[in-house]
């Protein structure tokens, strides 16, 4: 008998959300129309990027993102065994299914792949420079989009300068430009990513063959960059903490209240200089989400100054205690060189050493992209997109379509387009728009449905799992392996009550658990506790100086979060699936980052 997960068509709708499919574009949900296909493949839940049910507009990113991922495998680089990923929503949660290439085509595809991917590898740095320019230009265009309420009468300049178009059109275009930008940034996101992972996997495979017992961490350390843009926001916080102390304004942070702190700072020359310096760091580095960047509700530092202020205050406290908060760059460099030299020494032949150096070299060329893209896309660009969407939300509020700007995220992609058209044409006529009567009850009902979806835990996977999970990116990025799938099937009830996950960062620690479900709870984490969360985001970096270990429900060894855990030298077990549902705050637990086992201690 084959063990299997429920079919997508067997999972009941959450109580109070029977009509949940109305929240999303029709192509994103399971349906009878594609049942034959959807029921024949294996789906796993992506709780790493989307731990919570998605509000309707937030789902706009998903199909565009996975479309972008898939096209590079299937249409651009022609990855020999793998096409893309199918994506569906079920009860508000995201499910993915790898689409394999026909095994008969692998040889033909390999030829194309070698030519095309080979070109990218050979020209990586030039292409990456271009990438950076494209992304910065895109963010510049996004920032330049102006979103204004519609005026009673157009300015005279519209006539004088012969604009030939109006504010109504501008609003219409602004939204279309925003949507285009989402598609465009996600095209860029995956331009390099799959190739970067492929080169890393190749180096990884070499190391595991040469030294079957090499810790994953050792491989990651040989490749990891020392100065990484993803760490830059945290570095800026440290810089600002030092500046506050050096310029004598650190006391202003004593109150713990942003407004009082700002008032105090504004009262002195040094304080004003500090604020100016903060603002300089903030663009772009504090366009940093406290979550994965995929939810409109994720707090962004630049818009929630209390978040970076609180971290800065923590750093000031550390400085006051005489602690060194700087990253020891020279030591990190030296350690990286030592590790490489010692493993090189363990190889037996010149050919192996040559292959090792070559693969390491390529992995290091591609890795800055793997490490950095996250800041530029999920944090910076997304921050601007959420901001601009809220500005459109404000226009809707003014026209009584919705009650608060964030209500806009309860319309889905096409519906916002329809609503803007409604607003534009009724403004033009003028006549009553339908929106003010149409939207408020729908949005109220949808908010309730998303809440209802939250109450029903999603199955970790759907359908019949393959004997072996072979899709390389699924394993590397999502941590989905044949082993973890077996674990899901056996659920959490291991004989000894322990949880098994990925050994994402080594070390063994015992301590008190702090279970948190959202970034808003970060402040609850106490010194020395073990953080247990559905996932962690890179922007939580500053609390890693405080905690003893990390346990997450989701994520693989190269998940964005794992990179930061290793940087901070904390034991971490990721991808346990059940940590937040079986561990409670206050439980004493043992986290073994070497073996990936988490145990409750009585």
Task: Tell me which residues touch other proteins (CB under 8 A).
Answer: 79-82, 106, 110, 113-114, 117-118, 121, 198-199, 201-202, 204-206, 208-215, 217-218, 221, 338-339, 342-343, 346-349, 351-352, 354-355, 358-359, 362, 468-470, 472, 475, 481-482, 506-508, 594-595
CA 94 to chain CA centroid, nearest Å: 14
The minimum distance between CB 371 and other proteins, in angstroms, equals 19
CB of 45 to other proteins, least distance (A): 20
Shortest spacing between CB 468 and other proteins, in angstroms: 5
Q: How far is CA 371 from each of CA 31, 109, 118, 276, 568, rounded to the nearest angstrom? A: 37, 28, 21, 29, 15
Q: Could you give the angle at the alpha carbon of 572 between the alpha carbons of 325 and 461, nearest 5°?
A: 140
Nearest residue to 281 via CA among 352, 221, 232, 341: 232
* CA–CA separation, 200 and 71 (whole Å): 21
Closest CB to other proteins among residues 101, 183? 101
Torsion-angle region of 476 (φ positive above 0: left; ψ -120 to 50: alpha; else: beta): alpha
Our CB check for other proteins shows the closer of 58 and 592 to be 592
- How would you classify the pairing of strands 572-574 and 43-45? unpaired
Please give the Cα distance from 68 to 207 (Å, whole number): 31
CB of 118 to other proteins, least distance (A): 5
Closest distance to other proteins from the beta carbon of 110 (Å) = 5
- CB of residue 470 vs other proteins: minimum separation in angstroms? 5
Which residue, 248 or 569, has its beta carbon nearer to other proteins?
569
Query: With respect to other proteins, which residue has the nearer C-beta, 541 or 597?
Result: 597
Q: Residues in the chain, how many?
A: 602
Q: How far apart are CA 505 and CA 279, in angstroms?
A: 34
Q: Which is nearer to other proteins, 276 or 348 (CB)?
A: 348
Nearest-approach distance from CB 122 to other proteins, in angstroms: 10
For 4, left (φ over 0), alpha (ψ -120 to 50), or beta? beta
Nearer to other proteins, 189 or 359 (CB): 359
C-beta contacts of 165-171 below 8 A and 24+ residues apart:
166/428, 168/423, 168/424, 168/425, 168/427, 168/428, 169/424, 170/146, 171/147, 171/392, 171/395, 171/420, 171/423, 171/424
264 burial (CB, 10 Å; 0-12 / 13-18 / 19+) is: middle
**Considering the complex, what minimum distance in angstroms separates the CB of residue 408 from other proteins?**
41
Residue 520, token pair as written in the block: 């808003």
Q: Which is nearer to other proteins, 191 or 471 (CB)?
A: 471
Task: Tell me if 171 sits within 8 A of 395, measured CB to CB.
Answer: yes
Closest distance to other proteins from the beta carbon of 128 (Å): 18
Q: Which is nearer to other proteins, 216 or 422 (CB)?
A: 216
Instruction: Give min distance, CB of 381 to other proteins, in A.
Output: 29
Q: What are phi and psi of 324, to 5 degrees?
A: -95, 115
Q: What whole-number distance in Å separates Cα of residue 244 and Cα of residue 275?
A: 10
From 120, 160, 85, select the one nearest 369 (Cα to Cα): 120
Nearer to other proteins, 208 or 266 (CB): 208
- Is 498:597 a contact under the CB 8 Å cutoff? yes
Quote the least distance from Cβ 356 to other proteins, whole Å: 8
61 CB neighbour count, 10 Å cutoff = 23
Residue 370, SS3 per DSSP: helix
Alpha helices in 328-412 (DSSP H): 329-345, 350-374, 382-398
- The residue (of 301 and 343) whose beta carbon lies closer to other proteins is 343
For tokens 């265009």, what's the residue? Answer: 141
CB of 585 vs other proteins, minimal distance in Å? 27
How far is residue 423's CA from residue 400's CA, in Å, rounded to a whole number? 10
Smaller CB separation from other proteins, 362 or 450: 362
Q: How far is the CB of 124 from other proteins (least distance, A)?
A: 12
Choose between 160 and 213: whose C-beta lies nearer to other proteins.
213
- Between 211 and 568, whose beta carbon lies closer to other proteins? 211
């Amino acid at each position: 008998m084959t063990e299997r997960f429920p079919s997508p068509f067997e999972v009941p709708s959450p109580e109070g959300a029977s009509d949940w499919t109305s929240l999303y574009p029709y192509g994103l949900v399971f349906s009878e129309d594609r049942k034959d296909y959807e029921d024949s493949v294996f789906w796993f839940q992506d709780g790493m990027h989307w731990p919570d049910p998605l509000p309707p507009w937030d789902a706009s990113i998903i199909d565009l993102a996975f479309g972008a991922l898939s096209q590079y495998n299937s249409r651009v680089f022609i990855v020999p065994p793998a096409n893309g990923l199918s994506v569906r929503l079920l009860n508000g949660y995201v499910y993915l299914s790898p689409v394999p290439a026909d095994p008969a085509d692998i040889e033909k595809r390999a030829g194309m792949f070698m030519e095309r991917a080979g070109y990218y590898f050979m020209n990586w740095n030039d292409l990456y420079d271009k990438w950076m320019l494209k992304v910065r230009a895109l963010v510049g265009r996004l920032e330049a989009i102006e979103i204004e309420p519609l005026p009673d009468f157009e300015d005279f300049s519209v006539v004088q300068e012969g604009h030939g178009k109006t504010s109504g059109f501008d609003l219409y275009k602004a939204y279309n430009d925003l949507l285009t930008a989402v598609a465009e940034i996600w095209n860029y996101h995956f331009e390099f990513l799959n190739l970067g992972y492929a080169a890393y996997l190749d180096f990884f495979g070499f190391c595991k063959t040469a030294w079957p017992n090499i810790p994953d961490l050792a491989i990651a350390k040989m490749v990891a960059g020392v100065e990484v843009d993803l760490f830059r926001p945290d570095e800026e916080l440290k810089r600002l903490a030092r500046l506050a102390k050096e310029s004598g304004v650190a006391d202003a942070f004593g109150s713990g209240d942003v407004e009082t702190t700002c008032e105090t700072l504004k009262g002195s020359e040094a304080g004003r200089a500090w604020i100016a310096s903060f603002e300089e760091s903030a663009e772009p580095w504090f366009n940093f989400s406290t979550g994965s960047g995929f939810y409109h509700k994720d707090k962004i530092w630049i818009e929630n100054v209390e978040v970076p202020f609180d971290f800065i205050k923590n750093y000031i406290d550390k400085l006051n205690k005489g602690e060194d908060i700087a990253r020891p760059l020279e030591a990190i460099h030296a350690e990286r060189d030592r590790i490489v030299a010692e493993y090189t020494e363990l190889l037996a032949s010149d050919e192996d050493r040559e292959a090792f150096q070559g693969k390491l070299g390529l992995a290091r060329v591609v890795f800055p992209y793997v490490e950095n893209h996250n800041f530029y896309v999920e944090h910076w660009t997304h921050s601007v997109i959420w901001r601009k969407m809220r500005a459109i939300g404000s226009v809707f509020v003014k026209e009584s379509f919705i009650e608060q700007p964030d209500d806009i995220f309860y319309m889905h992609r096409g519906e916002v387009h329809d609503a803007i058209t409604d607003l534009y044409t009724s403004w033009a006529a003028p006549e009553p728009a339908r929106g003010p009567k149409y939207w408020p009850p729908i949005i109220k009902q949808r908010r309730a449905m998303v809440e209802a979806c939250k109450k029903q835990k999603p199955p970790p996977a759907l359908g019949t799992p393959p004997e072996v999970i072979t899709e390389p990116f699924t394993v590397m990025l999502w941590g989905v392996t044949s082993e973890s799938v077996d674990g899901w099937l056996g659920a959490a009830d291991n004989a000894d009550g322990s949880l098994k996950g990925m050994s994402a960062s080594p070390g063994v620690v015992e301590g008190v658990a702090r279970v948190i479900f959202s970034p808003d709870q970060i402040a609850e984490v106490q010194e020395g506790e073990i953080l247990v969360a559905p996932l962690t985001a890179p922007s939580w970096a500053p609390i890693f100086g405080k905690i003893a270990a990390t346990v997450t429900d989701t994520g693989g060894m190269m998940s964005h979060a794992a990179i930061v855990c290793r940087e901070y030298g904390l034991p971490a077990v990721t991808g346990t699936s059940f940590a937040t549902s079986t561990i409670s705050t206050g439980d004493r637990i043992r986290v073994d980052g070497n073996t990936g086992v988490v145990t409750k201690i009585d």
